[in-house]
Amino acid sequence: MCRGRTARAARRLLAEKQGLAAILSLGPDEAVEIAREPLDSVRPLLEPDRVAGVDDQLRRLEASQARLVGLLDGEYPPLLRQIPDPPVFLFVRGTALAADQGVAMVGSRRPTRAGLEAARELAGALAREGVNVVSGLALGIDGAAHRAALEASGRTTAVLGSGVDVIYPFEHGPLAAEVIRHGALVSEFPMGTGPMPHHFPIRNRLIAGLVPLVVVVEAAERSGSLITARHAADFGRDVAAVPGTIVAAHAAGSNALLKDGAILVRSVEDVLAELPGSVGYGAGRASSSAGAAAGPDPALGDDARLVLAALDFVDPRDTDTLVAATGLDAARLSGALVLLELDGLAEPLPGATFVRRKGRG
């Protein structure tokens, strides 16, 4: 229930003490020293029984069959821990949070028919591949993505800009009930919190933090979807977009993302190809893992084999890093990278970085 400086204090105390009981046993002076925040911000963490509304929160949790998932819990999403200010607790309704990484799909609340069809096709195909589809339960693209994942007997996670017991928009109540049965509703807002305009940029930050890849289907130049994309870029996550017609305002934002270097999405294969790792993403993804273990192709030249060994399947490497790792000069490195790209073994990414890809079969 605490935000701002108190939330920062809680994160620092948890990082140091690795447990709630240990925090509650601290004296005020020691807690202030560890938290590096003033006593007024730290005190609520040491005296939670004095925080107004705690009993009401407990009642609402029980009535909604919701639960708290803390920053140190095994169920807490690993990727979310990596963002600069992860929530200390998540409020969750539904099944256990997905242990694997998913894909976020966001877009317009007033999409075109083509946009809805794209969202449904992509989300359904991702769900059939075992990918958790993450979105915001909003009207339009969000709702279409959740429904398509459910119709494909897949898993979906809805991140709310309200408490998990306050479904918004109201007409998505039945959809939320289905999400609870086959996935999870997630929020960092306390139980009973209503949907306020300033909550949704915070919600969008959570969507971006949960996944390695955000796909924007349709977005105007000023939209919440672009806020999600900006958060994803800030967190070092990939951003992808479905292209739209150049004469329609509803696609201006998503097209601008593509101009700025977002990954072009023409089919689900374009999305699956960008997911880090391979486990749980179908036979094609598993074969990618096997290719990683096979080692460099002996037919490659020495320079190309050096560069290939220095590339990673997940973390992009820039040219300075590759020069340092291989000992090659810039000209030889460039030539080796061209050969690897032509062979389908390396892929250039925005920012003059490169990742390794599956080799020839």
The answer to whether 102 touches 94, Cβ cutoff 8 Å, is: no
Fold of the domain built from segment(s) 103-272? Rossmann fold (3.40.50)
Residue-averaged pLDDT of the chain: 86
Domain 295-356 = CATH 1.10.3720.10 = no
Query: What pLDDT, in 10s, does the model give residues 173-224?
Result: 999 999 999 999 999 999 999 999 999 999 999 999 999 999 999 988 888 8
* 21-47 per-position pLDDT tens digit: 888 888 889 989 998 999 989 988 888
| CA-based nearest residue to 189, from 181, 178, 177, 201 | 201
- Report the length, in residues, of the chain: 361
pLDDT at residue 352, rounded to an integer: 80
- Residue of 82, 213, 101 lying closest to 155 (CA atoms): 101
CA–CA separation, 348 vs 49, rounded Å? 54
pTM: 0.73
Measured distance CA(197)–CA(208) in Å, rounded: 18
Domain ranges within the chain, ordered by starting residue: 1-52, 103-272, 295-356
**Structure-token pair, residue 219:** 């977005």
pLDDT in tens, 110-121: 999 999 999 999
**What's the CA gap between 292 and 356, in Å, rounded?**
9
